[in-house]
Amino acid sequence: MRDFSRGHEAMSVNTATLRAQWSLAEIIEGCARHGITAISPWRDQVAAYGLRQTVAHLRDAGITLSGYCRGGMFTATDKTQRALARDDNRRALDEAAALGSPCLVLVVGGLACHADQSFDKDLAGARRQVEDGIADIFDYARSLAMPLAIEPLHPMYAADRACINTLSQALDLCDRLDPMRSGALGVAVDVYHVWWDPMLAASILRAQKPRLLAFHVSDWLVPTRDVLNDRGMMGDGVIDIARIRGMVEDAGFCGYCEVEIFSELNWWRRPADEVLEVAIARHKTVV
């Protein structure tokens, strides 16, 4: 296991962590100032700044990507909408390639929505749509040499965000679509989403390096006051983050540890420089 206590070379910042305080340009500058060498930006932030400007700014600041957020959202009751999702995922792949990202992170979508915005209850059907959706863009992703990282989300997001909810389920899908384990399809392991999973250690072992494409950290707070935006800073919750990092590193992962904290009630209200300082300190001590 890598020793993080002396530096934060392996730390990356998911830009959602600072989205309330800073623009993408400010995030790039801020990270450079704090000696952070990687970020994982969100598409809307890149679109707002401009793709070319982002590429140039990253290059000038000496900052690389640990991932690009995000593709996915494959589920829809309507065929036309699914085709639109496919086209949008191709654009996301183009952007990821232009930005030099090591992968495109996929949040696959939850239950399909009907025209009246009510949810379709066919969870198994939604999961089939996800598999079809990934299969649909897989050739294009391979043509760009851009790996697809399926991010299993916590089961509490199964209805409205992602119906892939365990690593085991994501890896089953990888086995079906990429049986040769080419590295073109894998998973993003986010401790917030997977820490509770009784199969976690076994699934990480099963994934191994070609399928471990990203590693995200934050913490699970007790109580959790908001289902979506109450993630904790590493060390403030109950997740044994270092133990999970040990598992992914034992399985061959040697990439960035990406800090991704959605925190309406705390960290989004603090000065961004302070958030980065605390994240760096925690990276050295509890990640």
Examine residue 231 and tell whether it contacts its own copies (CB under 8 A).
no
Examine residue 122 and tell whether it contacts its own copies (CB under 8 A).
yes
Examine residue 177 and tell whether it contacts its own copies (CB under 8 A).
no
Examine residue 129 and tell whether it contacts its own copies (CB under 8 A).
no
Could you identify the residue written with the tokens 């990821």?
Answer: 96
Choices 2-10, 25-33, 162-170, 252-260 (CB under 8 A): range interacting with its own copies: 162-170
What are the beta bridge partners of residue 39?
A: 13, 65
What are the beta bridge partners of residue 219?
A: 232
Contact residue for its own copies among 47, 224, 252, 285 (CB under 8 A): 224
Examine residue 264 and tell whether it contacts its own copies (CB under 8 A).
no
Examine residue 150 and tell whether it contacts its own copies (CB under 8 A).
no
> Are 235 and 208 contacting, i.e. CB atoms less than 8 angstroms apart?
no
Compute the least distance from the CB of residue 63 to its own copies, in Å.
32
Sheet containing 257-259, strands listed edge to edge, beginning at the edge strand earlier in sequence: 64-65, 38-40, 11-14, 257-259, 212-217, 185-190, 148-150, 104-107, 68-72
Choices 48-56, 68-76, 165-173, 180-188 (CB under 8 A): range interacting with its own copies: 165-173
Examine residue 282 and tell whether it contacts its own copies (CB under 8 A).
no
Contact residue for its own copies among 63, 65, 111, 137 (CB under 8 A): 111
Q: What are 140's two structure tokens?
A: 């294009």
Examine residue 239 and tell whether it contacts its own copies (CB under 8 A).
yes
Closest CA to 122 of 148, 159, 95, 96: 159
The smaller minimum CB distance to its own copies, of residues 195 and 256, is found at 195
Could you identify the residue written with the tokens 């006051």?
Answer: 225
The smaller minimum CB distance to its own copies, of residues 8 and 127, is found at 127
Choices 42-50, 61-69, 180-188, 220-228 (CB under 8 A): range interacting with its own copies: 220-228
Q: How many residues of this chain interact with its own copies, rule: CB under 8 A? A: 33
Contact residue for its own copies among 34, 82, 154, 283 (CB under 8 A): 154
Q: From CA 128, how far away is CA 152, in angstroms rounded?
A: 15
Examine residue 114 and tell whether it contacts its own copies (CB under 8 A).
no
Q: What are 24's two structure tokens?
A: 């993408």
Q: From CA 171, how far away is CA 277, in angstroms rounded?
A: 35
Q: From CA 97, how far away is CA 133, in angstroms rounded?
A: 20
Examine residue 197 and tell whether it contacts its own copies (CB under 8 A).
yes
> Are 49 and 83 contacting, i.e. CB atoms less than 8 angstroms apart?
no
Contact residue for its own copies among 57, 127, 216, 245 (CB under 8 A): 127
Q: Give the Cβ contact number of residue 59 at 10 Å.
A: 11
Neighbouring C-alpha atoms within 13 Å toward the C-beta of 37: 7
Examine residue 222 and tell whether it contacts its own copies (CB under 8 A).
yes
Give the interface with its own copies as residue ranges (CB under 8 A).
111, 119, 121-123, 127, 154-156, 158-160, 163, 165-166, 168-169, 195-198, 220, 222-225, 227-228, 237-240, 243
